[in-house]
Amino acid sequence: GAGVSQSPRYKVAKRGQDVALRCDPISGHVSLFWYQQALGQGPEFLTYFQNEAQLDKSGLPSDRFFAERPEGSVSTLKIQRTQQEDSAVYLCASSSNTGNTEAFFGQGTRLTVV
């Protein structure tokens, strides 16, 4: 595709609900990253995939957060039993290889937990 696409653009969830956020990276991009951005803050790393392999999940804040990329393309970030502190913008980025190349970001999914 032309760029990284994320859906939904906005999501309102009741506390305790499970949510799934989708990321369509740029076609052919090997690396995929998820970030969490709280209001007024810089993006914070959550997890990283190289193709279908999740190489780093050190940034996931709790075991309620789970990410997958089963076929090495589309990725889903799932948050179980959402809590108010999960409210943030969730950004997905992809890059063409694993080295030092720019990462292209999607517009993000704004999650509000009420």
Partner 1 sequence: GESVGLHLPTLSVQEGDNSIINCAYSNSASDYFIWYKQESGKGPQFIIDIRSNMDKRQGQRVTVLLNKTVKHLSLQIAATQPGDSAVYFCAEKAGRRALTFGSGTRLQVQP
Task: State how far the Cα of 37 lies from the Cα of 55, in Å rounded to an integer.
Answer: 21
Smallest gap from residue 4 Cβ to partner 1 (A)? 7
Omega into 43 within 30° of 0, i.e. cis? no
Smallest gap from residue 64 Cβ to partner 1 (A)? 21
Smallest gap from residue 87 Cβ to partner 1 (A)? 11
Beta bridge partners of 50: 31, 53
* Comparison of 38 and 81: residue with beta carbon closer to partner 1: 38
Question: How many Cβ atoms are within 10 Å of 41's Cβ, its own excluded?
Answer: 10
Please give the residue ranges that form the binding site for partner 1 (CB under 8 A).
Answer: 4, 33, 35, 37, 39-45, 48, 55-56, 59, 89, 91, 93, 98-100, 102-108, 110
- Sequence length of the chain is 114
* Comparison of 28 and 42: residue with beta carbon closer to partner 1: 42
Task: State how far the Cα of 15 lies from the Cα of 12, in Å rounded to an integer.
Answer: 10
Smallest gap from residue 44 Cβ to partner 1 (A)? 7
Q: Tokens 């809590």 appear where?
A: 83
* Comparison of 80 and 103: residue with beta carbon closer to partner 1: 103
* Comparison of 82 and 94: residue with beta carbon closer to partner 1: 94
Task: State how far the Cα of 3 lies from the Cα of 85, in Å rounded to an integer.
Answer: 29
